[in-house]
C-alpha cells in the first residue's frame, strides 16, 4: 500500500496554466498567498513564519531560496533548507511558491554567493557612461548567466527528486529585475549591441521593420534594450530550470507610474514594468506570468496596475503592502481573475518595511487580510473555476468612498461604502450618527454572473444594490431570493436565506465576508 501511494503521488499532474487558470492536481486552484520577509528563508526562522501565515489563513507561502544559500562554494550545492521547508509546509497542508533570488534581487546582486560578488572580472557588472561600475550585474554577462542557470537548474533537479507531489506549485525567477539608477549597460560589448539593429525576433514579434533601437523605440530605446537582454537572460535561467522540472514560472515587477510612461517613471530599467511587457513576452517564452508588486496606496493606481497586468496574461499579485488598507484590493484582484494574491512581510519577526507596508503587523492588520481569505478559503477551487468560466466584477472602495456602478448584462451593480445597513441616505426624519467606517479605507466586493439573472457575490464592509441597467416603461428589478452559502463540489449549499432587514436597503456585507447567491427578476 505504501508503494502504491508513492506511485500515485509520483503521477500527480504537474501544475500548469490552462489559459489564465492555474491547475494544481489537475484542477483550478486559487493561491491565497503569504510572503514572509526577505531573511526568513532559514530553517531557524520558520517557527516565526508559520503562526503568522496560519493566522492569515493562507494556503500558499512565497518563500525565497537564495543562490548564496544553495551554492555557498562553486559547484557545491546544499538544499537542506528546501528540504526542511517542504517537510514543514506539507505538515501544514500548505503549498509553496519559491522565489529564486539570484542575479537580480530588487535589481542588486545582494543574494548571489560571495564567490560571484568577489570575481568582478568573470561576473561583470553594468558600466556607466563614464566607465565606472554600477552595482547591478550585467545582463550581457554570459558567465554570470551560465552560473545562475546552473544553480537554478540544480534547485529544480532537486525538486524533481524530492517533490513528486508538487508541494511547490510555481517558481518566481529572480526578484524585481532590471536596474535602478542606470538605463542600460555602457560597457563596450553592450555599446556595440546598442549601436546595432534590434534583434530579428523582436522586430518580427512586434511586427515592425528591423531597425535601430532608437528608431524603433525613441526615448524608450535604452529601457527596452535593457528589457530585451534582461528578459533573454531570465528566460535562459527559467528554461534551464524547466528542463529539470517543468513548473510554471513567473517574474515580478517593481512598478513605475501606473498611468503613463511618458515621464520616464518606469520602475527599474529593464524590469517587467507594464510598458515593457510587449518586449518581455517575445524575449521570455518560458515565463507564464508577469506580476506586479503593488506598493501604491492610491486605489486608482492599483486598479490601473491590475488592469494592465490582467490584460497581459494570468493575473498574479505576489506582493502587496501588508498595511490594512491594501487588503481591500483583494476584491478588484479577484474580480480580474487573479490566481494569486499575497501581502508581503508576513511573519512574526517584527520587521516592518513601512512606509511601503504596515508600521506594525498587529492583529487588526492581519484580520483585514484574514477576513477575505476566510471567504475564498471556503471554496478556493470552486472560486477558481467560476473565475475562469464566468463574467466577473471586483471593486474596492476608492479614495473618495463614492458609489461605484458596473453593468453585467441587463443589470447594474452598485457598491456603496460606509453606510448603515438600515435605511436610505435621504431619510431626514430620523437622526443618524455617521457610520464608523465612513472615512476608513476598507470595503469591496467581487461578483460573478452565474446566469443572466443570477449572481454570486462576496464582499466585506460594503453595500450592494442591483437594479435594471435600462428599465423599460413600467419595469423594475426585483429580488427573487438571496441565499448565503457556498459551493461544494459544484453544488450550491445554502446556509440561510437573506430577507427582510438584511436586504431591504441593499445587500449589506459586514466585517465577516460571506457568499451570497442572488437571483433577480423583472417585475412589470
Binding site for ligand N0T (CB under 6 A): 38, 106, 175-176, 254, 293, 295, 319, 344, 353, 356
**Three-class SS of residue 376?**
helix
Residue 41 to residue 414: CA distance in whole angstroms? 44
Q: Is the peptide bond before 383 cis (omega within 30 degrees of 0)?
A: no
DSSP letter at 324? Answer: G
Instruction: Please report how the helices 80-91 and 142-162 are oriented relative to each other, as an axis angle in degrees rounded to 10.
Output: 40
State the minimum distance, in angstroms, from the CB of residue 133 to ligand N0T.
22
Nearer to ligand N0T, 290 or 455 (CB): 290
Residue 354 to residue 37: CA distance in whole angstroms? 12
State the minimum distance, in angstroms, from the CB of residue 265 to ligand N0T.
8
Cα dihedral 345, 350, 351, 356 sign: positive
**Count of CB atoms within 10 A of residue 478's CB?**
13
Nearer to ligand N0T, 38 or 226 (CB): 38
**Three-class SS of residue 421?**
coil
**Count of CB atoms within 10 A of residue 171's CB?**
23
State the minimum distance, in angstroms, from the CB of residue 272 to ligand N0T.
12
Nearer to ligand N0T, 369 or 487 (CB): 369
Query: Which residue lies nearest ligand N0T, judged by its C-beta?
Result: 353
Q: State the burial class of residue 514 (Cβ atoms within 10 Å of its Cβ: 0-12, 13-18, 19+).
A: buried
State the minimum distance, in angstroms, from the CB of residue 251 to ligand N0T.
11
DSSP 135-202: EEEPTT-HHHHHHHHHHHHHHHHHHHHH-TT-SEEEEEEEES-SBTT-SS--SHHHHHHHHSBPPHHH
Nearer to ligand N0T, 344 or 498 (CB): 344
Nearer to ligand N0T, 183 or 293 (CB): 293
Q: Which residues on neighbouring strands pair with residue 504, listed in sequence order?
A: 506
**Three-class SS of residue 142?**
helix
Residue 107 CA from chain centroid, whole number: 19
Nearer to ligand N0T, 165 or 353 (CB): 353
State the minimum distance, in angstroms, from the CB of residue 347 to ligand N0T.
13
State the minimum distance, in angstroms, from the CB of residue 351 to ligand N0T.
9
Contact 406, 393 (CB under 8 A): yes
Nearer to ligand N0T, 96 or 356 (CB): 356
State the minimum distance, in angstroms, from the CB of residue 119 to ligand N0T.
25
Nearer to ligand N0T, 235 or 319 (CB): 319
State the minimum distance, in angstroms, from the CB of residue 70 to ligand N0T.
17
Amino acid at each position: 500500500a505504501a508503494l502504491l501511494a508513492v506511485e500515485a503521488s509520483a503521477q500527480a499532474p504537474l501544475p500548469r496554466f490552462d489559459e489564465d487558470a492555474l491547475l494544481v492536481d489537475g484542477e483550478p486552484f486559487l493561491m491565497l498567498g503569504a510572503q514572509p520577509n526577505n531573511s526568513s528563508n532559514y530553517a531557524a526562522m520558520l517557527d516565526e513564519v508559520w503562526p503568522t501565515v496560519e493566522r492569515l489563513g493562507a494556503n500558499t507561502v512565497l518563500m525565497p531560496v537564495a543562490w548564496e544559500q544553495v551554492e555557498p562554494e562553486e559547484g557545491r550545492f546544499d538544499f537542506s533548507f528546501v528540504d526542511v521547508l517542504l517537510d514543514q509546509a506539507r505538515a501544514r497542508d500548505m503549498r509553496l511558491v519559491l522565489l529564486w533570488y539570484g542575479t537580480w534581487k530588487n535589481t542588486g546582486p545582494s543574494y548571489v554567493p560571495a564567490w560571484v560578488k568577489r570575481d568582478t572580472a568573470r561576473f561583470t557588472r553594468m558600466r556607466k557612461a563614464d566607465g565606472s561600475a554600477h552595482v547591478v550585474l550585467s545582463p550581457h554577462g554570459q558567465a554570470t548567466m551560465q552560473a545562475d542557470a546552473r544553480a537554478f537548474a540544480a534547485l529544480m533537479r532537486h525538486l524533481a527528486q524530492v517533490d513528486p507531489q508538487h508541494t511547490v506549485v510555481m517558481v518566481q525567477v529572480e526578484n524585481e529585475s532590471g536596474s535602478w539608477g542606470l538605463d542600460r549597460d555602457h560597457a563596450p560589448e553592450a555599446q556595440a549591441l546598442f549601436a546595432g539593429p534590434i534583434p530579428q525576433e523582436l522586430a518580427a514579434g512586434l511586427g515592425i521593420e528591423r531597425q535601430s533601437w532608437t528608431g524603433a523605440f525613441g526615448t524608450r530605446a535604452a529601457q527596452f534594450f535593457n528589457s530585451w537582454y534582461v528578459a533573454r537572460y531570465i528566460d535562459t535561467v527559467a528554461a534551464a530550470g524547466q528542463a529539470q522540472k517543468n513548473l510554471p514560472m513567473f517574474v515580478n515587477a517593481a512598478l513605475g507610474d501606473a498611468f503613463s510612461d511618458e515621464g520616464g517613471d518606469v520602475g527599474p530599467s529593464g524590469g517587467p514594468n507594464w510598458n515593457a511587457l510587449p518586449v518581455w513576452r517575445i524575449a521570455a517564452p518560458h515565463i507564464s506570468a508577469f506580476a506586479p508588486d503593488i506598493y501604491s496606496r492610491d486605489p486608482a493606481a492599483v486598479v490601473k496596475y491590475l488592469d494592465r497586468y490582467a490584460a497581459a496574461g494570468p493575473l498574479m499579485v505576489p506582493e502587496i503592502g501588508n498595511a490594512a488598507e491594501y487588503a481591500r484590493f483583494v476584491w478588484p484582484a479577484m474580480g480580474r481573475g487573479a490566481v494569486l494574491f499575497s501581502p508581503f512581510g508576513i511573519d512574526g519577526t517584527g520587521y516592518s518595511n513601512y512606509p511601503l507596508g504596515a508600521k506594525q503587523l498587529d492583529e487588526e492588520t492581519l484580520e483585514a487580510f484574514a477576513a477575505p481569505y476566510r471567504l475564498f478559503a471556503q471554496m478556493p477551487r470552486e472560486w477558481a473555476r467560476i473565475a475562469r468560466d464566468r463574467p466577473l466584477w471586483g471593486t474596492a472602495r476608492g479614495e473618495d468612498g463614492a458609489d461605484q456602478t458596473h453593468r453585467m448584462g441587463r443589470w447594474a451593480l452598485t457598491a456603496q461604502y460606509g453606510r448603515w445597513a438600515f435605511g436610505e441616505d435621504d431619510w431626514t426624519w430620523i437622526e443618524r450618527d455617521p457610520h464608523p467606517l465612513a472615512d476608513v479605507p476598507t470595503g469591496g466586493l467581487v461578483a460573478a454572473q452565474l446566469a443572466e439573472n443570477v449572481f454570486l457575490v462576496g464582499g466585506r464592509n460594503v453595500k450592494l444594490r442591483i437594479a435594471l441597467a435600462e428599465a423599460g416603461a413600467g419595469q423594475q428589478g426585483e429580488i427573487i431570493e438571496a441565499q448565503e452559502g457556498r459551493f461544494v463540489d459544484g453544488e450550491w449549499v445554502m446556509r440561510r436565506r437573506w430577507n427582510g432587514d438584511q436586504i431591504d436597503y441593499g445587500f449589506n456585507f459586514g466585517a465577516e465576508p460571506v457568499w451570497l447567491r442572488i437571483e433577480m427578476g423583472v417585475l412589470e
